[in-house]
């Protein structure tokens, strides 16, 4: 009955209720994060249609779950019982690229790589580049404040968001932020929405800052016998004052999985590969590349060199992006997203190895190593309940170790459902109360993505 009523306030074909169709909108890519059947899926094409959905859900007190491309890894887009899933896939227009102001205005369903390609036609560049950039959307990237391979030098999504249009939990359409290069008028509510995972409002348009196209990159590769040695090299690069345009760690498990899937011929005689890049032009870039290679060698690399084959270098970085879907072919993958101080990367990697052994769990490692953002991938055989239990226990140990080393439970994937308990350990009780106060102010009826992103209040 409610789904039929919802259909009357939206254009035909916007509301989906067929159970077979709904299957594709139940959850994101987070392994073992819970989900329930929704009341309906809505695919709006305008801000007015999003507002109509929110007002309907307010009137009938129906929970509402915003969804981008579904590439998330924390359960943030998972449907809850009887909710309306609002898929932003129909809002994918690049509204404006302004070369004079170096900004772009886009709808939330625009795919990251499509925006980058559109900007490149104007000699401009949108830096945030999560590994899922060929599939993930700007709205989803904003929801989790996604980072990516080059964020070690150029920052994360939030560093490029200037403004946005939002439908609030009260059903109002508001504009936050600005288009100017500077602006400090009022509270920075725009920044507050970045990383809020759809719990404070539904973003219907985003204005992002752009940069000029950058110089071609030099690639330095190093082979290591262990992730700990590679971590030591990462710390040395940071201590040397080099800021690479990318510094990525990929272990043998990942490379072999990509090879088996894509036949890219990437198998190497190493347990771990460290991939560094610099886009600094001229002699300064040559010096950075040489210094990075020295750090690799001092850290224990069995082999290190600057690539003279751009195609080969690009293939290695392509393998880094393909690691997660390749490993999924082996069995369920529970993905971590911890971030620790760069100096603590070797110790954190040591602890991950110990945790893998203690819990009899295969853990592959990829990492945005240059900024301490590690992605241990816990792989289990399909249908093995005991292995799942061990992996989930290892997942929690890794979170505790990251916090113990001064880190955080998530660097770029968001809290969603999987990290709520971990966030409860990271934040103090007064800070958790502040989160709930903000949530109550902007979503007073609690309809926006309930049960996600923030921990429950402490008992008592």
DSSP 29-44: S-TT------SEEE--
Q: Each residue of 11-33: b (16+ CB within 10 Å) or e?
A: eeebbbeeeeebeebbbbbbbeb
Residue 225 pLDDT class (50, 70, 90 cuts): very high
The whole-number average pLDDT for the span 288-299 is 97
Is the pLDDT at 266 greater than 90? The verdict is no
Q: What is the DSSP letter of 75?
A: S
Q: What is the pLDDT of residues 17-42, one digit of tens each?
A: 999 999 999 999 999 999 999 999 99
Q: Considering only the top CATH level, what class is 94-212?
A: alpha beta
Residue 259 dihedral angles phi and psi, to the nearest 5°: -60, -45
The span from the CA of 122 to the CA of 41, in Å, is 36
The whole-number average pLDDT for the span 374-397 is 97
The whole-number average pLDDT for the span 66-73 is 97
CATH homologous superfamily, domain 218-404? FAD-linked oxidases, C-terminal domain (3.40.462.10)
Q: pLDDT at position 267, please?
A: 62
The span from the CA of 349 to the CA of 288, in Å, is 25
CA 9 to chain centre: 34
106, containing H or E segment: strand 103-106
User: Do the domains 94-212 and 218-404 sit in the same CATH topology, yes or no?
Assistant: no
Q: pLDDT at position 228, please?
A: 93
Residue 203 pLDDT class (50, 70, 90 cuts): very high
Q: What is the pLDDT of residues 80-115, one digit of tens each?
A: 999 999 999 999 999 999 999 999 999 999 999 999
Q: pLDDT at position 288, please?
A: 96
User: Could you give the percent of the chain with pLDDT greater than 90?
Assistant: 90
Distances (CA, A) of 431 to 428, 439, 454: 5, 13, 11
Enumerate residues 6+ apart whose C-beta is below 8 A from 101. Answer: 179, 181
The whole-number average pLDDT for the span 47-73 is 98
User: Could you give the percent of the chain with pLDDT greater than 70?
Assistant: 99
Query: Which of 184, 48, 160 shows the shortest CA–CA distance to 106?
Result: 160
Q: Is 70 in contact with 90 (CB distance < 8 Å)?
A: no
Q: What is the DSSP letter of 453?
A: S
The whole-number average pLDDT for the span 189-214 is 98
The whole-number average pLDDT for the span 415-426 is 97
Query: Any idea how long the chain is?
Result: 460
Assign domain 2-87 one CATH number from 3.30.43.10, 3.40.50.1980, 1.10.10.10, 3.40.640.10.
Answer: 3.30.43.10
Q: pLDDT at position 315, please?
A: 83
**Per-domain boundaries in the chain:** 2-87, 94-212, 218-404
The whole-number average pLDDT for the span 132-141 is 96
Q: Is 352 in contact with 404 (CB distance < 8 Å)?
A: no
Is the pLDDT at 460 greater than 60? The verdict is no
Structure tokens at 129: 């580049």
Bridge partner list, 202: 167
Question: Backbone dihedral region of 76: left (phi > 0), alpha (psi from -120 to 50 degrees) or beta?
Answer: alpha
The span from the CA of 173 to the CA of 159, in Å, is 23
Q: Is 378 in contact with 361 (CB distance < 8 Å)?
A: yes
The span from the CA of 298 to the CA of 290, in Å, is 12
Q: What is the pLDDT of residues 320-359, one digit of tens each?
A: 889 889 999 999 999 999 999 999 999 999 999 999 999 9
The span from the CA of 189 to the CA of 457, in Å, is 23
Q: Which pTM was predicted? A: 0.95
Q: pLDDT at position 459, please?
A: 47
Is the pLDDT at 265 greater than 90? The verdict is no
Bridge partner list, 422: none
């Amino acid at each position: 009955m409610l789904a039929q009523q919802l259909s009357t306030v939206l254009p035909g074909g916007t509301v989906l209720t067929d159970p077979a169709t709904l299957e594709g909108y139940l959850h994101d890519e987070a392994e073992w994060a819970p989900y329930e059947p929704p009341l309906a899926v809505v695919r709006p094409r305008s801000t007015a249609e999003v507002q109509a959905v929110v007002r309907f859900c307010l009137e009938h007190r129906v929970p509402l779950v915003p969804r981008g491309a579904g590439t998330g890894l924390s359960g943030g887009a998972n449907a809850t019982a009887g909710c309306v899933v609002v898929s932003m896939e129909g809002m994918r227009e690049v509204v404006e690229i302004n070369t004079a102001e170096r900004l772009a205005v886009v709808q939330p369903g625009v795919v990251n790589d499509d925006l980058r390609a559109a900007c490149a036609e104007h000699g401009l560049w949108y830096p945030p580049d999560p590994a899922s950039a060929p599939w993930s959307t700007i709205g989803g990237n904003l929801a989790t404040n996604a980072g990516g391979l080059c964020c070690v030098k150029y920052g994360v999504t939030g560093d490029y968001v200037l403004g946005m249009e939002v439908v609030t939990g009260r059903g109002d359409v508001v504009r936050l932020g600005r288009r100017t290069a500077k602006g400090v008028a009022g509270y920075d509510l725009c920044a507050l929405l970045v990383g809020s995972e759809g719990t404070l409002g539904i973003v219907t348009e985003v204005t992002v800052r752009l940069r000029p196209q950058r110089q071609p990159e030099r690639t330095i590769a190093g082979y290591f016998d262990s992730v700990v040695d590679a971590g030591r090299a990462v710390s040395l690069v940071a201590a040397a004052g080099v800021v690479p345009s990318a510094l990525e760690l990929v272990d043998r498990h990942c490379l072999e999985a990509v090879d088996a899937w894509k036949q890219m011929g990437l198998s190497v005689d190493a347990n771990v590969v460290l991939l560094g890049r610099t886009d600094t032009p001229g002699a300064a870039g040559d010096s950075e590349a040489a210094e990075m290679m020295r750090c690799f060698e001092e850290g224990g690399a069995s082999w290190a060199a600057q690539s003279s084959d751009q195609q080969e270098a690009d293939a290695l970085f392509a393998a880094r992006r393909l690691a997660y879907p390749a490993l999924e072919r082996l069995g369920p993958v529970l993905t971590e997203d911890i971030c620790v101080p760069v100096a603590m990367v070797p110790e954190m990697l040591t602890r991950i190895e110990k945790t893998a052994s203690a819990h009899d769990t295969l853990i592959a490692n990829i990492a945005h190593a240059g900024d301490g953002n590690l992605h241990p991938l816990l792989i289990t055989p399909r249908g093995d309940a005991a292995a799942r239990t061990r992996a989930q226990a290892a997942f929690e140990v890794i979170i505790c170790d990251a916090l113990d080393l001064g880190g955080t439970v998530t660097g770029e994937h968001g809290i969603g459902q999987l990290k709520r308990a971990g966030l409860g350990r990271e934040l103090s009780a007064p800070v958790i109360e502040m989160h709930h106060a903000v949530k109550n102010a902007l979503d007073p009826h609690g309809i926006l993505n309930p049960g996600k992103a923030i921990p429950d209040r402490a008992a008592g």
